[in-house]
Amino acid sequence: MASEAHGGGGATGYIVHHLTPLSAGEGFWTFHLDTLFFSVVLGILFLALFRKAAEKATADVPGPLQNFAEMLVEFVDSQVKDAFHGKSVLIAPLSLTIFVWIWLMNFMDLIPVDLLPLIGSVVGLEYLRVVPSTDLNATFGMSISVFFLILFYSIKVKGGIGFAKEMLLSPFGKWMIPFNLLLKLVEEIARPVSLALRLFGNMYAGELIFILIALLPWFIQPLLSFPWAVFHILIITLQAFIFMVLTIVYLSLAHEDH
């Protein structure tokens, strides 16, 4: 299993091959086609599923799909209501999208590590990295979008002057303006960076361990890969949940006027 899909280099080559994305383009204008493809497919899967449930949504006895969708909606809604006390049409749907999309992208981790790259190599794809959330671009794509939303709402709710005041005058008052600004900038920038890196780190490490297990002799693999997969179900859900909750918290902080 360990030495069929790549050109050589033994264990290191196998690992590197698995972690190399299928890309097109040069320099900054490189596109990770596998990341884009799988995230879009999973996003469409999410939308199709939930749109179907929403179209048929009735106040009467719900079907299984509607039940499932409603369960998630209520779960997300209660999280939003706990943390966010304002009124916003954006935050709850945003949170639902984040939770389900990240969960689906993380779930790609549980597909056997060699399965999709093998299929890819059959149809002529040299590299295939199937878990979008092991790509920093995917995690930063979401966290930077969230960061823009934080900035947008901060300025919208507090006004330009209010936001500037908060950036410059807290926590130490007007005599420490440069220091305050530095602290605030670190605080603001740490949010998207920590969001993206936390998710990326967890998923990347998890995937790496699956790859390492795949390098072991076949009779040991199930013993390790089964418990790790079970544990991983918890991790992928937890990471999706953490990303969602922190997004809600950050956005509710942006709505608070000091």
Q: Please tell me which residue in 133, 202, 225, 252 is annotated as part of the active site.
A: 202
Between the alpha carbon of residue 188 and those of residues 83, 164, 180, the distances in Å are 19, 13, 12
C-alpha pair distances (Å), 3 with each of 9, 13, 68:
9, 9, 41
Which residue number, 134 or 225, has a Cβ lying nearer to another protein? 134
Q: Which of 3, 78, 170, 194 is catalytic?
A: 194
Active site residue 154: no
| 194 is an active site residue | yes
Cβ 28 to another protein, closest distance in Å? 5
Buried (b) or exposed (e) across 25-45, using 16+ Cβ within 10 A? eeeeeeebbbbbebbeebbee
Q: Which residues bind another protein (CB under 8 A)?
A: 25, 27-32, 35-36, 39-40, 43, 46-47, 50-51, 53-55, 57-60, 62, 66, 69-70, 73-74, 77, 89-90, 92-94, 96-97, 101, 132, 135-138, 140-142, 144-145
Can you spell out the DSSP letters for 219-247? TTHHHHHHHHHHHHHHHHHHHHHHHHHHH
Q: Rank residues 29 and 219 by Cβ distance to another protein and give the closer one.
A: 29
- Pick the catalytic residue: 23, 88, 121, 198? 198
72 or 169, CB closer to another protein? 72
Q: Can you tell me the distance from the alpha carbon of 191 to that of 204, in angstroms, rounded to the nearest whole number?
A: 20
Smaller CB separation from another protein, 102 or 116: 102
- Closest contact distance (angstroms) between CB of 42 and another protein is 10
Q: How far is the CB of 93 from another protein (least distance, A)?
A: 4
Contacts of residues 124-129 at CB distance under 8 Å and 24 or more positions apart, as own/partner, are 125/22, 126/22, 127/17, 127/20, 127/21, 127/22, 127/23, 127/34, 128/22, 128/34, 129/18, 129/19, 129/20, 129/21, 129/22, 129/32, 129/34, 129/35
CB of 254 to another protein, least distance (A): 16
Task: Tell me if residue 202 is catalytic.
Answer: yes
Q: Which is nearer to another protein, 47 or 118 (CB)?
A: 47
- Return the residue matching tokens 């879009």: 40
Query: What is the nearest approach in angstroms of another protein to the Cβ of residue 151?
Result: 14
What residues form DSSP beta bridges with 23? 32
Residues classed as catalytic: 194, 198, 202
